[in-house]
Amino acid sequence: MDWMIVGACCLFLFVAFIYSSVGHAGASGYLAVMSLLSFPLLEIKSTSLILNIVVASIASYKFIKAGYFDAKVFIYFSITSIPAAFIGGAITLDPFWFKWFAGVFLLVSAVALIIRNKQIEQNEIKEVNLYTALIVGAVIGLFSGLIGVGGGIFLSPLIIVMGWTSLKKTSGVAALFILCNSLIGLAGHMFSNTFQVHNIAYWVVAVIIGGYAGSHLGSTLYKNKFLIAILFVVLCSAGLKFLLVK
């Protein structure tokens, strides 16, 4: 096996492990890995969505089974995010704009990841506003489909900061939100006839291992801020590469 494939598998496994431990699927991490390893731009969106679906499926099952889910919050945001994700997935961005959007997304995601992992449990749960959720859901869904992510990296910090549900339930909401957006985004992407993947079987096996281990530990007691800090550096580095390297 090519050492490039081995290295990529290790990185994908690491990303899936860290992200699934907090109910995410790892799209921003996969984008970072593919950017740093110079994957062809046409493969990035397709690959990211497929890996997102695999890990989000595992994380959704583990967190929901453990009782960490808020159906009301999930439904409010998903009503508009799901159709918007299909529209975004069907749109093929010019390579310049894809790199620009992906670069900004990775840098913002790095900040959002730190906010999400402060691990501060809310003292008071507030009622989520339906109209706010519909607008935010639509924006996240559209952007998710455009660049091949699930949107949980943005939704989780928002839910936590606003106090709309508990920290653990936020993970369950985010996991299923990501799964739905990624599935619909992939359908839209395939509809646009720009679907391309290479060596996907290797990447899928790697994220299944990482996703299962991370979501299992994340739905129990796992916390590791050192690894989160490493991931923060990786996201920033990849984001800058997207923005600065021609």
Angle at 116 between CA 113 and CA 118, to 5 degrees: 110
Mean pLDDT of the region 43-54? 92
Evaluate whether residue 4 is within a structural domain. Answer: no
Please report the pLDDT score of residue 220 as a whole number.
67
Evaluate whether residue 112 is within a structural domain. Answer: yes
Tokens in use for 229?
């800090």
Please report the pLDDT score of residue 183 as a whole number.
94
Distance of CA 38 to the CA centre of its chain: 20
**Is the pLDDT higher at 242 or at 123?**
242
Structural domains in the chain (count): 1
Structural domain boundaries, residue 197: 24-244
pLDDT digits (tens, 9 = 90+) for 116-156: 666 555 557 888 999 999 999 999 999 889 988 888 888 88
Q: Answer for the pair 92, 194: CB distance below 8 angstroms, yes or no.
A: yes
pLDDT score of 233 more than 80 = no
Q: Answer for the pair 80, 139: CB distance below 8 angstroms, yes or no.
A: no
Please report the pLDDT score of residue 140 as a whole number.
92
Q: How confident is the model at residue 81 (pLDDT cuts 50, 70, 90)?
A: very high
pLDDT score of 19 more than 80 = yes
Evaluate whether residue 8 is within a structural domain. Answer: no
Provide the Cα torsion 196, 45, 91, 76; round to 10°: 130
Please report the pLDDT score of residue 76 as a whole number.
96
Evaluate whether residue 166 is within a structural domain. Answer: yes
pLDDT digits (tens, 9 = 90+) for 83-110: 999 999 998 888 888 888 888 888 888 8
Please report the pLDDT score of residue 222 as a whole number.
55
pLDDT score of 219 more than 80 = no
Q: Answer for the pair 90, 191: CB distance below 8 angstroms, yes or no.
A: yes
Evaluate whether residue 127 is within a structural domain. Answer: yes
Evaluate whether residue 160 is within a structural domain. Answer: yes
pLDDT score of 167 more than 60 = yes
Average pLDDT value over all residues in the chain: 85
Evaluate whether residue 184 is within a structural domain. Answer: yes
Please report the pLDDT score of residue 227 as a whole number.
59
pTM (two decimals): 0.84
Please report the pLDDT score of residue 111 as a whole number.
81
Evaluate whether residue 216 is within a structural domain. Answer: yes
**Is the pLDDT higher at 29 or at 53?**
53
Whole-Å CA distances, 44 to 54, 70, 191, 192, 218: 16, 32, 16, 15, 27
Please report the pLDDT score of residue 245 as a whole number.
67
